[in-house]
Amino acid sequence: MKKVGFFQSVRLKLIVVYILLLLLGIQVIGAYFVDRLETQLKDNFKVSIDGQLSSLTYSLQNAFNTEREEGAAPLSTDLQGLISEFGNNREIRKMMVVDDKPNVLAAISTGDDQSLVGKKVTDQKITRVFLFEDPTEPVEMQDSESNSRLYVGTTPITNEAGDEIVGALYYEFYMGSIYEQLEEINSIFAKGTVLAITVTALLGILVARTITKPLTEMKKQAQIMATGDFSQKVDVQGNDELGQLAHTFNDLNDKLKLSQATTEGERRKLSSVLSNMSDGVIATDRLGAITLMNAPASKLIGQTFEEVQGQSLVDVLDLSDQLEDISEVEEAGSMIIDLSSEEAHLLLKANFSVVEDEYHEMNGFISVISDVTEQQRVEKERREFVSNVSHELRTPLTTMRSYIEALNDGAWQDPDIAPRFLDVTQNETDRMIRLVNDLLQLTKMDHKETSLIKDRVEFIGFFHQVIDRFEMNKDEKVDFVRNMTNKNMYVWMDKDKITQVLDNVISNAIKYSPEGGSIRFDAHSTKKQLRVSITDEGIGMPADTVDKIFDRFYRVDKSRAREMGGTGLGLAIAREMIEAHHGKIWAESREGKGTTVHFTLPLMNQKRRNQS
């Protein structure tokens, strides 16, 4: 997981929030404080000035209304003296006393005081007093030259009766002291703000660390949990929201641990089931792409999971001829898939089921595939077996019925025909009895009902006895050639069953041997097995039919075999008996060159032979 930098951390965000909240509070308080302070200072300034002006106006009014004696100082001198005394106020920028002409009678200013005396004024603020007999309200103005804030106004001077304006007092006061005080206070306030922010930042770091420390621990624990380690817990500090969050986090840790253990257990069970299933399992997503496949499925289709992962199930199982789209799988349910090649025949049965998510919507497919090649082969053999048995029984029964009907029609009275018909009927009856007996014997062997009575037998001597029996009854047209070892070889076997095997194989060799031909008998040991071979010089058989002669009712030349009285079950019985002795039987043949039937039997070991 990518590490979170300080500038992206919650701690910095908390500190910034603290500082912003403090700044917001300070700004609101500061703005209100400065505004109210400025208003208060201005009000105090105006009250002070207005008080002084009121006193000065009263003095000026007395001076205007005083009768002057001869030789007394002129009015302008008295007026100049009055405003000069007032001029000690350093906030005065300019002050003029004007008569009703209006001429300046006395003046003081920061510049030349006498330069204004005797001059006629045209200022509207002064002329309005005489025209409208109404004082102008003092106003704040800004000097264009010095950019100083000024308090400017005009006050009328009346006679004793107060009904006539005899003069006016014009004044200009500096208000810079007010703004200097405000600037000084703002400076103090700014320094206090910086100090407060600094202290708040330090406290914010401590507070943020207190808040974020549990969060940091939970983050580390979450990273550890992501690796699958649920053994550690978060320290719970306090019972506030963070403490409750830590409790909840630890509960979540326990539940995840239990859930993972349960999931892992189920996964192992599923993995074990999938691995040990004889059937193959293939899982896909909703689009049909393969996401899971077990080993049996890989073995059945001949491809590894890595090779087919992500491929379409339709393509992997070659279902394009049966399905146009993967969505049709649900409707198909199950189907037989032919994956046969030139080397091997392979039939698979696939059962499909739909996987649904928690919202009961289709989320994928599960396909269970199994090898039904042998099952289909057995089913085919069963059908062929029933067909063959029916055919084998129908032929002699039809023949017997025909001859019996002929005898019923009067042929039994014919001394020449009747014996021949009865002889054919008896032969067909014997043939059916042999067929039924062979079928019963095969049925017992299929159901493991035939028990073997095994004895210790010296096979070479036993084999000679069987050959001798056939040699005494054989026709002169066939020669027997024996090629067997003189060494004694002991086999643990059922003599009757092996005799039946040899009778079937030798009888077939004699039947199919041409006149003047020979039958060769071989017996020798190979490692721990006895190998017996019986070779004729008959018509042989095609290479593609050699392995089928041990199937039930299979005949290379059916018409000839039936004429010779065969049931087609002799070699099938021989195979069952040899396999019951833990041996193996097979044939080799070349068309027109003859056939060799081989079978093997396990030899007794030396220790068991001595004990016997």
pLDDT in tens, 510-551: 888 888 788 999 999 887 899 999 999 888 888 777 777 777
Domain 277-371 CATH class label: alpha beta
Helix axes 10-65, 75-86, angle to 10 degrees: 160
Pick left, alpha or beta for residue 71 (phi over 0 → left; psi -120 to 50 → alpha; otherwise beta): left
d(CA 123, CA 169): 12
How many of the other CB atoms lie within 10 Å of CB of 393? 15
Task: Kindly report, as residue ranges, where domains of CATH 3.30.565.10 are found in the chain.
Answer: 455-611
Q: Which residues contact 508 (CB under 8 A, 6 or more apart)?
A: 536, 566, 570, 571, 597
Closest CA to 393 of 360, 435, 361: 435
pLDDT in tens, 334-364: 777 777 777 777 788 888 888 777 777 777 8
Q: Which residue would you say has higher pLDDT here, 416 or 555?
A: 416
- Degrees, nearest 5: CA angle 63-69-70: 130
d(CA 63, CA 216): 86
What's the token pair of residue 482? 């024996």
What's the token pair of residue 88? 């000690």
Structural contact between residues 30 and 189, judged by C-beta atoms closer than 8 angstroms? yes
Q: Can you tell me the mean pLDDT for 442-462?
A: 77
**pLDDT of the residue at 104:** 84
Give the chain's length. Answer: 612
- The maximal CA–CA distance of the chain, rounded, in angstroms, is 211
Q: Which residue would you say has higher pLDDT here, 473 or 55?
A: 55
pLDDT over 70, % of the chain: 83
Domain 377-446 matching CATH 1.10.287.130: the answer reads yes
Judged against a pLDDT cut of 60, whether residue 609 lies above it is answered with: no
d(CA 54, CA 66): 18
What is the architecture, at CATH level 2, of domain 455-611? 2-Layer Sandwich (3.30)
* CATH fold of the domain at 13-181: Beta-Lactamase (3.30.450)
Task: Kindly report, as residue ranges, where domains of CATH 3.30.450.20 are found in the chain.
Answer: 13-181, 277-371
pLDDT in tens, 105-164: 888 877 655 567 778 877 777 777 777 766 667 888 887 777 778 888 888 888 877 778
Closest CA to 48 of 125, 138, 170, 162: 138
How many of the other CB atoms lie within 10 Å of CB of 269? 10
Q: Can you tell me the mean pLDDT for 391-418?
A: 74
pLDDT range class, residue 565, cuts 50, 70, 90: very low
Judged against a pLDDT cut of 90, whether residue 408 lies above it is answered with: no
DSSP assignment of 390-423: HHHHHHHHHHHHHHHHHHHTTGGG-TTHHHHHHH
Closest CA to 297 of 373, 369, 375: 369
Per-residue 3-state assignment (H helix, E strand, C coil) for 229-282: CCCCCCCCCCCCHHHHHHHHHHHHHHHHHHHHHHHHHHHHHHHHHHHHCCCEEE
Structural contact between residues 170 and 126, judged by C-beta atoms closer than 8 angstroms? yes
**pLDDT of the residue at 434:** 66
Which stretch of 23-37, 93-107, 372-386, 584-598 has the lowest confidence by average pLDDT? 372-386
Q: Which residues contact 335 (CB under 8 A, 6 or more apart)?
A: 319, 322, 349, 350
Burial 587-602 (b: 16+ CB within 10 A, else e): bebeeeebbbbbbbbe
Q: Tell me the pTM.
A: 0.41
d(CA 12, CA 595): 96
Closest CA to 141 of 167, 171, 112, 111: 171
pLDDT in tens, 307-323: 888 888 778 877 777 77
Closest CA to 85 of 102, 77, 250: 77
